[in-house]
Amino acid sequence: MTQLSVNINKVATIRNARGGNMPNVVKFALDCERLGAQGITVHPRPDERHIRYADVHDLKPLLTQEFNIEGNPVSKFIELVNTIKPAQVTLVPDAEDAITSNAGWNTIKHEEFLRKVVSDFKNHGIRVSLFVDPNPEMIRKAAEIGADRVELYTEAYATNYSAGPEKAIQPYVEAAKVARECGLGLNAGHDLSLENLTYFHKQIPWVDEVSIGHALISDALYLGIEETIHQYLECLK
């Protein structure tokens, strides 16, 4: 079964808007695990506008499911990840001022840099996933670099889904096949939702993990977190 990793950044955004510790990010993460999520994702950015580096340290000893830390591998991030040693690190080429991730790696252009970073994390026993667009060339190079998985950047799929699911999914199916041929594990994330997740999973049932934050937290405002996680897990059956 494809695993559901809940990205809790938006919970931290709400907390930070008022100060204090409401909602409690750690408690929320533990509740997500208790309710069936198979993983927790955080994406600490240098300005700590949502998840703080301290949150990552607080979460690590308490989580019982897979911990995935996303981010641009600047020196501070590398140090954090190698200290925490999560199950997985997902490398994302986002600028410091980016509102959210908006592109995958050019693994050809950044091959030398990524080889060093991937090797360093793997030497610390951490599984490494590279955030990529559904581009076969970039996926093949990710495998050559030594990544364990790729995470397909699914914004284009989500944007085009309502106009035609078959056309929207096609480049992702091809990309997923290339990843499988290269021996890479496969993750997916960005703008996946209750509207489009079931179709995505039916077309690419071998995806290992989906990481979902914004849509899931938004749905929880209406449905409650227990029912929301239940519905997302149903999409992945």
Residues with a known catalytic role? 43, 70, 190
Place of tokens 């506008």: 49
DSSP character at residue 211: E
State the virtual CA torsion across 200, 201, 202, 203 in degrees, nearest 10. Answer: 50
Measured CA to CA in angstroms, residue 49 lies from 116, 156, 191, 221 at distances of 28, 26, 20, 21
How is residue 150 written in tokens? 């790729």
Q: Which backbone phi and psi does 128 adopt, to 5 degrees?
A: -115, 130
DSSP H/E element including 33: helix 25-34
Place of tokens 């284009």: 156
Residues in the chain: 237
